[in-house]
Structure 1
């Protein structure tokens, strides 16, 4: 079987399978979830903070790294 000759048939068959699967697995409307409470970013005292103190590379140094 030459796959290149039958590519359109394979595509249509895959499309039919995907469409049938989406209709078969589609239930009713999505359940409504209770609203969640938003947490502010500053509320967690145990949050890890990382500070990077390094100088930026110059254009010549970047060129050396690229190879």
Structure 2
């Protein structure tokens, strides 16, 4: 089978499958189970315990960069 010859059919089939799956997943009712307040609380907890790194080093000069 010559794939280049049938590329339009492959694209249309992929578009139809993608549209069907996105329509089917849009009808999912599980997304309504979480309230916006619950989502905000989870985000706040994740931000408060997130580790942070402070780098305190000098930058290389042009001569030092050229030596590397």
TM-score by length of 2: 0.59
Deviation at 1:28, TM superposition (A): 5.8
Residue 64 to residue 10, structure 1, CA distance change in 2 (3 Å): farther
- Structure 1 unaligned runs (5+)? none
- Moved beyond 6 Å, runs of 4+: none
Specify the structure having the higher radius of gyration (Cα). Answer: 1
Higher helix share: 2
TM-score by length of 1: 0.59
Where structure 2 has 5 or more consecutive residues not aligned to the other structure, the ranges are none
User: Residue 18 of structure 1: CA displacement?
Assistant: 0.6
Partner in structure 2 of residue 15 of structure 1: 15
Aligned length: 61
Alignment of structure 1 residues 42-57 onto 2, 5 Å: 50-57=53-60
